[in-house]
Amino acid sequence: MGLARSFIAIQMPAEVRKQLIEITNSLKETQAGIKCVSPENAHLTLKFLGNVNERRLEDIKNIVESVSKKIDPFELSLSGVGVFPNRSAPKVIWLGIGQGKGMLNRIKDMLEERLLEIGIGKEERQYHAHLTLGRVKLLKEKNKLISWLESNMNFEISSIKVRKITLMKSILKSEGAEYSPLLQAALREASSIQTWEENSDG
């Protein structure tokens, strides 16, 4: 039985990915030695699982579906930029969360409580919901990067409606990670609407 590098996340819809192209391109223009994440791969990680035995994935799928059925669709907005761990030694450039931050924390806590039941431990670090824009490979033009951070402090992407949670598989390649969904679990209201529509066909 093989291992699957996986995580639970909220994928970004097409309208957000289009808006991310603008800020990603401006980040590249700093020439600060940052490898930007493709907008096509944009997501908000709720829980990184690491390498998981494929047999255990069925249990994880059941947990994701169970938690999803207890959460109604909610509004989410992306706002402001920042870095991990700090501006003196930046490693990750991210886009922050405006509306919906509390709901993301709630879902993350619910997932972790259920995952404990199958032996997957909680994160020791405090959860900080964010969307990764890029990672520093070899820092150059640090002043340009700091200037970029300051000029994009108020960057904002209009709110979206979150309707599903996705269990993702990640395959690491030389050109970057390749993601594929293993499960897309509809949130409560969305699940009810979908079921009603399916039963109403014909």
Three-class secondary structure of residue 183 per DSSP? strand
130 assigned to active site: yes
User: Would you call 122 exposed, middle or buried from its count of C-beta atoms within 10 A (0-12, 13-18, 19+)?
Assistant: middle
Options 17, 33, 36, 43, the catalytic residue: 43
Options 47, 108, 130, 163, the catalytic residue: 130
Question: Quick one: CA dihedral 192, 9, 101, 34, positive or negative?
Answer: negative
43 assigned to active site: yes
Whole-number Cα distances in Å, 124 to 100, 102, 112, 121: 22, 19, 11, 9
* Token couple for 75: 């509004």
Which amino acid is present at 92? V
Residues with catalytic roles = 43, 130
